[in-house]
Structure 1
Amino acid sequence: MRAITYSTYGSADVLELTEQPDPHVGADVVVVRVRAASVNPVDWKVREGYLDGLMDARFPVIPGWDVAGVVEQVGLDTPEYEVGDEVYGYVRKDWVHGGTFAELVAAPVRTLARKPASLTFEEAAAVPLAGLTAYQTIRRAGVREGQTVLVHAAAGGVGAFAVQIARSLGARVIGTASERNHDFLRGLGAEPVTYGDGLADRVRALAPDGIDVALDYVGGDAVDVSAALLAPGGTVSSITEPAARDAHGGQYVWVRPSTPDLEALGALIDGGQVAVEVAQVFDLADAADAHRASESGHVRGKIVVRV
């Protein structure tokens, strides 16, 4: 099969289109014919070696965790799926090796769900990691109707999902973004504020009684700023700062594969409550350019690779 691989840590230049053996199908695994995958910041952070020791790599690495495609082969104990089923998933395994930037991927059934019927394969591939991150941080924070939620980096891949999921629960959402993305956030149902110096004052002007939940998808001083803005009983949920656990009983969330959560996201999508923003689509051979686009840090929505 064709696959994007790298055999050493480094810049996007280490990515190559190569021929690799077809993946092995285990007892609780299905082989998926990949139609599309997507890029997440963690992909190039792993490729650069920033997470070495936390996420063990086995070279050559096929990058990518998001997938949308069609089941091509089933394992001995996979009653959930049949050949031909359309699926999507967050195919994270115990080590970084056999990812989704390939024609085929071996996916444990716990990492998959049926593809939302209303989405194309390219759109579906944009959902799993970012959508699950948003869904799980919101669930862990206990967001509910009537609360005021502050979403940092609200126009990004995770933030845009978080805005919509929180709104579907009946929350009021304030989202940080550059001014060029304010209309986009209004379209998602959020009240936009510009990030940077003076953010706390701008949020207080919109929510003088404080915020109930802050969702940190950007890092930096977001947790400290959020903690200062919390109403009594408020909480911070972060994917970047373990210190959030010390901020008013907050949470640090490391996203997990979850079939039930993917099914819940699919229901929100097919029900019209969550839309998917695809920023750009690259061909598999141009995966290095897709990584570079993600590294630029100025992407609204998700970058997708078509296989």
Structure 2
Amino acid sequence: MATMRAWQYKTRNEPFESNLSLDTIPRLEAPSTCKSEKDCCILVRVHAVSINPADHKVPLIPVVGYFLNKKPATPGLDYSGVIEAIPPGTPTTLQVGDKVLGRLDWPYQRGTLAEYVLAQPNAIVKLPDSLSFAQGAALGTAAMSGLQPLEKVNIKPGASVFINGGSGGVGSYTLQIAKLLGAAHVTVTCGPANVERMKALGADEVINYREADVLDTLKADAKDKGRFYDIVIENVGAIDSLYEQCHHFMNPAGCFMQVAAPFPLFLIKRTILPGFLGGGKRRFASYLTWNDNADFQRLADWAGEGKLKTEIDSQFAFEDTKEAFERLRGGRCQGKVVVHVVKEGSI
């Protein structure tokens, strides 16, 4: 029987990486035919994986994390690699041997931190020639989470956008994509180490949250400069007063988009309760990434053309995946954390 290596977890202790072990398990195989959407899985030899906060946070959610998938389970949503097998009848124009990048959708048991993955046809596209496997793997969830919220609120050319949490993997993409979609002004928040980096990616204004109170700055800009935002993107996920106070700096017809949403009751408060009971006074929406090949192709094209920069914070060997999660959990990443399942330059 052919085998492969995969990182797996059977327990749910903190920190998440303490649950991981690198195991040798039966190799995944593509189904013999594609009779239904569920059966249409493309076998990919994984070359690189980018990890996301959801990879370690979701399994540890009380109750939900336990029942989300069967154990042992392999974490990882995003990948790049080479196609090894495509079942007859699979709805795709891709071919065996193509270099690809892709993303899995929830729920899943067999994630991407393995030597092979069964890829879903609704989020797998060719890897542009100009991108490395690491750059391709780094698009995935973070880039989709930058594009889709802006599409959901129907961003218009000339829009003004505020991004709370602009320097992480998602925020870096959101900033660039907002500009690609025609935003006239984008303000982001970040720490002092990322101010110049945010400006280089296209930010018109940067609020250093270590030196200035974000809410006070937004209110002052609205009062003194007439700076009101059409779209507010919340990537931080903290329970604070940003939404409750957004009527001071967001246009009446604008939308507050919560990308990072920590608790269901938190969302209920923001979407249902009236302002005098603790709700907000502006339109509120939340977001959860979904797979869409058209969106994925758009992102790959932008990246391949050099219009969308992929920032990689750090890179780790497959055997050092635990250290990769430690880096990600530190919360100070300047871009994406990538794990090389196959060493660059090897077959």
- Shorter-chain TM-score category? over 0.9
2:47 alignment partner, SS class = strand
Is 1:274 matched with 2:308?
yes
Is 1:43 matched with 2:58?
no
1:201 pairs with 216, 219, 228, which one? 216
Partner residue, 1:179: 192
Partner residue, 1:284: 318
Q: Aligned residue pairs: how many?
A: 306
Q: CA shift at 1:89, angstroms?
A: 1.1
Give the AA of the match of 2:255: T
The 2-side partners of 1:47 and 1:232 are apart by 38
Matches within 5 A, 1:1-307: 1-10=4-13, 11=15, 12-26=17-31, 27=34, 28-50=40-62, 52=64, 56-78=68-90, 79-93=92-106, 95-171=107-183, 172-190=185-203, 191-195=205-209, 198-207=213-222, 208-220=226-238, 221=240, 222-241=242-261, 242=267, 245=271, 247=280, 248-307=282-341
Higher-Rg structure is: 2
Cα distance change of structure 1 residues 62 and 263 upon mapping to structure 2, 3 Å threshold: same
Structure 1 residues not aligned, in runs of 5+: none
Cα distance change of structure 1 residues 282 and 69 upon mapping to structure 2, 3 Å threshold: same
Q: CA shift at 1:96, angstroms?
A: 3.2
Give the AA of the match of 1:38: S
Is the 1:55–1:96 contact (alpha carbons within 8 Å) kept by the matching residues of 2? no
2:55 alignment partner, SS class = helix
Cα distance change of structure 1 residues 85 and 227 upon mapping to structure 2, 3 Å threshold: farther
2:243 alignment partner, SS class = helix
Structure 2 residues not aligned, in runs of 5+: 35-39, 262-266, 273-279, 342-347
Deviations 1:98-126 (A, max 9, x none): 00000000012112112233210001111
Q: CA shift at 1:254, angstroms?
A: 0.5
The 1-side partners of 2:66 and 2:250 are apart by 32
The 1-side partners of 2:247 and 2:301 are apart by 33
Is the 2:70–2:109 contact (alpha carbons within 8 Å) kept by the matching residues of 1? yes
2:309 alignment partner, SS class = coil
2:297 alignment partner, SS class = helix
Give the AA of the match of 1:82: Q
Is the 2:58–2:65 contact (alpha carbons within 8 Å) kept by the matching residues of 1? no
TM-score normalised by L of structure 2: 0.83
Deviations 1:251-298 (A, max 9, x none): 211000111101011122122221000000011111111111111111
Percent sequence identity is 29
Is the 1:151–1:173 contact (alpha carbons within 8 Å) kept by the matching residues of 2? yes
Give the AA of the match of 2:318: L
Deviates more, 1:16-25 or 1:131-140: 16-25
The 1-side partners of 2:174 and 2:330 are apart by 22
Is the 2:253–2:283 contact (alpha carbons within 8 Å) kept by the matching residues of 1? no
The 2-side partners of 1:210 and 1:123 are apart by 35
* Higher RCO by CA contacts (8 Å cutoff, separation 6 or greater): 1
Deviations 1:174-228 (A, max 9, x none): 0010111000000011021023762123234445331110011111224334444
Q: CA RMSD in A?
A: 1.9
Deviations 1:63-96 (A, max 9, x none): 1000111101111222422111111111124x33
TM-score normalised by L of structure 1: 0.94
The 2-side partners of 1:132 and 1:51 are apart by 27
Is the 1:66–1:100 contact (alpha carbons within 8 Å) kept by the matching residues of 2? yes
Deviates more, 1:269-278 or 1:42-51: 42-51
1:139 alignment partner, SS class = helix
Cα distance change of structure 1 residues 55 and 194 upon mapping to structure 2, 3 Å threshold: farther
Is the 1:4–1:284 contact (alpha carbons within 8 Å) kept by the matching residues of 2? no
Give the AA of the match of 2:8: T
